[in-house]
Amino acid sequence: MGSSFHSEQKTDFTLQCPIPINEYPNILLAHGGGGKLMHNLIEKMFSAAFSNEILQQDHDSAQLTLPSGKIAFTTDSYVVQPLFFPGGDIGSLAINGTVNDLAMSGAKPLYLSLGLIIEEGFAMSELWKVVQSLANAAKIAGVKIATGDTKVVERGKGDGIFINTSGIGIIEHSMAISPKSIREGDVIILNGDLGRHGIAIMAEREGLQFEHKILSDCAPLNGIVKKIIESGIDVHCMRDLTRGGLSSTLNELAGSSPAEITIDESLIPVHEDVRGACEILGFDPMYVANEGKFIVVVNPKDAEKCLSIMKGDEQGKDSVIIGSITGKSEQIVKLKSKIGTMRILDMLSGEQLPRIC
Amino acid sequence: MKFIDEYRDPEAAKRYSELIHNITTKKWNIMEVCGGQTHAIVKFGIDELLPKGINLIHGPGCPVCVTSLELIDKSIEIASREEVIFCSFGDMLRVPGSKKDLLQVKAEGGDVRMTYSPLDSLKIAKDNPDKEIVFFAVGFETTAPANAMAVYQAKVQGIENFSILVSHVLVPPAMEAILSSKHNLVQGFLAAGHVCAVMGYNEYFPLAEKYKVPIVVTGFEPLDILQGIYMCIKQLEEGRHEVENQYSRVVNKEGNSTAMEIINRVFKIGSRKWRGIGEIQDSGLVLQDEYINYDASLKFGLADMVVEEPKECISGLILQGLKKPFECEAFAKICTPERPLGATMVSSEGACAAYYRYRKK
């Protein structure tokens, strides 16, 4: 199974689960209990799917040989419902989310840890789908699962499955990519349209139907970031736009830089269907979550070059310049509205809640 | 996007702005009644396009804002009960009661669910016969038809474990309360377009006549609002006080007769307490006697509950247009969307919340 896994596995889930489902159609507490069942699960399912030389070391901890220099290290937990949604699932999300966090410091992601907290009774077939998706996403992003852990919690004490991934990557450039490096005049580039992930999840969760299915934008960004870094562009900051959307990210940057940021609403791409859903629900796409979008803050002299490099990558073909850093004395995000007036783009207080009317 | 972008065209907005400047010779106070209009005005910065002397007063048309503290406390009391599944539109969940909000009740173990339609709640009732399902029936005339339909369907289908906590308010009595106040500043109204889509605008002719005030039925997109303001100022400048319809692509004079029929079948007019304003006679909807078994307030023995509002919040003055959010001592200091003192800071449609989000100084 191990060696042929990657070549056969695409995004379909037709491969047979290596643990015969008629044997254990559901996860039992014993699958996390340290005994035979757990070993069976690890060996037959996890090792087979994630097979690599580090896992094969079979130690309590992975031993990694890394080049000298700076290391980037990050962690994130994934608790999404539904577990499977149009355009992705908790598995691809858990890989891409952590890969993207590493990529935002300009690092090359190398190794991920994988912690699974599974609820008793979770279908073995679903777990297999998640594991395949994890393996597939890791392969696409070019990272290895170096170590892992499985726990099973009693029925009713989990939500199917929770995943934690931590990741390390190496930083091969010498730039200081951070909010502190942002300068007045810097240009802000966005790699595509906003709000797909949030609306895809929302539509699935609430049973909302649209003419075309809105797919999550869940994707790894380390490829496009690598191209930007290797081109020698003077990157001052990068940030992925996850929970809280573009607005929250810009406000975080304005706060920690500090900087006055001005963007133009009419330049920001939002897909028709996402806009429609937002209009109906009373949401603002500026605040809706993404899982494959980021902004780059670059030296203005490199803006056009950066834009064209980004446009040449699958994850950036709809890249646009959305605004610039217009000052350094105030911590504020300003938005030029569609009708040409200026207003503040604030951070959201809580969750966005659908409006009554 | 079709049917949206046409109404957000910057060139057309500029032309309307010029037209308004051309006809304006005096200062005028105009109230936009609906919270959706307030939201659009602040979000798109429409007031920046107007002559200095045009003062937009943000009216009481946000259902979240005007729902009384008493009803919020009732909702919290009901939602906290073990046998209850409490269903509500999303933005009511964060409205603070005297001690907590519905999201806190949920965190403490209450079964509080966000629904998009009262009919979804009815389905939950069908699926959970051993539970009591309560829907928080909030809103103006716009949400009344769907809420009425849920109750009507419950009765037709014999579903007894369903009830609604009725908090319905009506727009014209609130407008009259503002006009008849001795502090009234309002000289012209932009009436709430979607309320009129249901009810038509026959109700406004007597108001315009009695108080000599122009009323323009207005939509919610930037160009709708600019055109509504233009029509209102034109009337004021010419000394007219008529009812006009800017939002003719959605509203007709007679309203939606099917919607009105279901409202009248299930509801009747009754008194209602407005948050920040107080009780206004005949300003709300209550269930008809025939449907009284679906009244959650009675079902859970809370009909006599009385709750007074905190003194430091001036949301009442803001809802009546007598003060702007900036003029409140508490604004953006002790009162923020995270810890709102009063109703107008809670909903994104509330005047204080809109100012906080788009204009914070």
Query: What's the confidence (pLDDT) of residue A347?
Result: 82
Report whether A304 contacts A187 (CB < 8 A): no
**pLDDT at B160 (0 to 100):** 97
Give residue B341's pLDDT.
81
Contact A205, A81 (CB under 8 A): yes
Q: Would you call A279 and B63 a contact, using CB atoms and an 8 Å cutoff?
A: no
Is the per-residue pLDDT at A47 higher than 70? Answer: yes
> Cβ contact (<8 Å) for B44 and A338?
yes
- Given a cut of 50, whether residue B140 has pLDDT beyond it is yes
Residue of B nearest to A269 (CA): B1
Q: Is the pLDDT of residue B269 over 50?
A: yes
Query: Over 50: is that where the pLDDT of A10 sits?
Result: no
Sequence ranges of the domains in chain A: 2-171, 179-344
Search chain A and give the residue with CA nearest B93.
A353
Chosen from B101, B113, B116 to mutate, greatest number of chain A CBs within 10 A = B116
Chain A: residue nearest B137 by CA? A356
* pLDDT given for residue A212 in this prediction: 77
Q: What does the pLDDT read at residue A350?
A: 67
Of A272, A342, A350, the CB nearest to B1: A272
Say which residue, B307 or B260, is predicted with more confidence. Answer: B260
Q: Which whole number is the average pLDDT over B342-346? A: 79
- For the domain bounded by A2-171, which CATH number is listed? 3.30.1330.10
Residue A13 has pLDDT above 70, yes or no: no
Complex confidence, ipTM:
0.79
Query: Do A343 and B90 make contact, defined as CB atoms within 8 angstroms?
Result: no
If you average pLDDT over each of B38-47, B169-178, B210-219, B304-313, which comes out highest?
B210-219
Note whether A354 contacts B: Cβ–Cβ < 8 A: yes
Q: Is A207 on the interface with B (CB under 8 A)?
A: no
Question: CATH assignment of A179-344, given 3.40.50.2000, 3.40.1160.10, 1.10.1740.10, 3.90.650.10?
Answer: 3.90.650.10
CA distance A353 to chain B (A): 5
Tell me if B91 and A279 make a contact (CB, 8 A cut-off).
Answer: no
Mean pLDDT for A316-333 is 96
Average pLDDT over all residues of chain A: 90
Of B48, B90, B336, the CB nearest to A354: B90
Range in A185-199, A254-268, A305-319, A335-349 with the lowest mean pLDDT: A335-349
The answer, yes or no, to whether residue A91 has pLDDT greater than 90, is yes
Res. B75: pLDDT tops 90: yes
What is the rounded distance in angstroms from the CA atom of residue B166 to the CA atom of residue B5? 36
Which residues of A fall within a CB distance of 8 Å from B8? 338-339
Q: What percent of chain A has pLDDT over 90?
A: 72
At residue B321 the predicted structure's pLDDT band, cuts being 50, 70 and 90, is: confident
The predicted model gives A26-36 an average pLDDT of 89
Written in H, E and C, the secondary structure of chain B is CCCCHHHHCHHHHHHHHHHHHHHCCCCEEEEEEEHHHHHHHHHHCHHHHCCCCEEEEEEEECHHHHECHHHHHHHHHHHCCCCEEEEECHHHCCCCCCCCCHHHHHHCCCEEEECCCHHHHHHHHHHCCCCEEEEEEEECCCCHHHHHHHHHHHHHCCCCCEEEEEEEECHHHHHHHHHHCCCCCCCEEEEEHHHHHHHCCCCHHHHHHHHCCCEEEECCCHHHHHHHHHHHHHHHHHCCCCEEECCCCCCCCCCCHHHHHHHHHHEEEEEEEECCCEEEEEEEEEECHHHHHHEHHHHCCCCCCCCCCCCCCCHHHHHCCCCCHHHCCCECCCECCCCCCCHHHCCCCCHHHHHHHHHCC
Residue A349, pLDDT score: 67
pLDDT confidence band for A14 (50 / 70 / 90): low
Query: What's the confidence (pLDDT) of residue A7?
Result: 36
Q: Do A353 and B93 touch (CB under 8 A)?
A: yes
Facing residue for B358 by CB, picked from A275, A344, A355: A344
> What are the distances in angstroms from CA B157 to CA B132, B154, B269?
16, 5, 25
Q: Which residue of B43, B114, B198 to mutate against A (max A Cβ within 10 Å)?
A: B43
Please write the tens of the pLDDT for every residue from B113-135.
Answer: 999 889 999 999 999 999 999 99
Q: Measure CB to CB from residue B359 to each of A276, A279, A344 and give the nearest one.
A: A344
What pLDDT is recorded for position B61?
Answer: 83
The chain A residue lying nearest B140, using CA atoms, is A357
pLDDT, tens digit, 9 for 90 and up, residues A270-282: 999 899 889 888 8
All structural domains of chain B with their residue ranges? 65-170+255-299
**Per-residue pLDDT reduced to its tens digit, A209-237:** 777 789 999 999 999 999 999 999 999 99
Nearest CA in chain A to B361: A344
How are beta strands A332-336 and A342-344 bridged, if at all?
antiparallel
Residue B345's pLDDT band (cuts 50, 70, 90) = confident
* Closest in B10, B93, B338 to A338, CB measured: B10
CATH number of B65-170+255-299: 3.40.50.11740
**In B, what residues contact A, Cβ < 8 A?**
1, 4, 8-10, 13-14, 36, 42-46, 48-49, 63-64, 89-94, 114, 116, 138-140, 142-143, 194, 222, 336-338, 347-349, 356-360
Find the CB nearest B116 among A206, A339, A349: A206
Q: Which of B1, B90, B358 sits opposite A343 (nearest CB)?
A: B358
**A179 phi/psi in degrees, rounded to 5:** -55, -30
The larger pLDDT score, comparing residue A291 to residue B337, is at A291
Q: What is the pLDDT of residue B15?
A: 95
In angstroms, rounded to a whole number, what is the distance separating the alpha carbons of residues B357 and A334? 11
Q: Search chain A and give the residue with CA nearest B142.
A: A357
Q: Residues B208-222: pLDDT tens digits?
A: 999 999 999 999 999
Over residues B258-282, the mean pLDDT reads 93
Distance from CA of B354 to the nearest CA of A (A): 11
Look up the pTM and report it: 0.86
Q: For chain B, give the number of residues.
A: 361
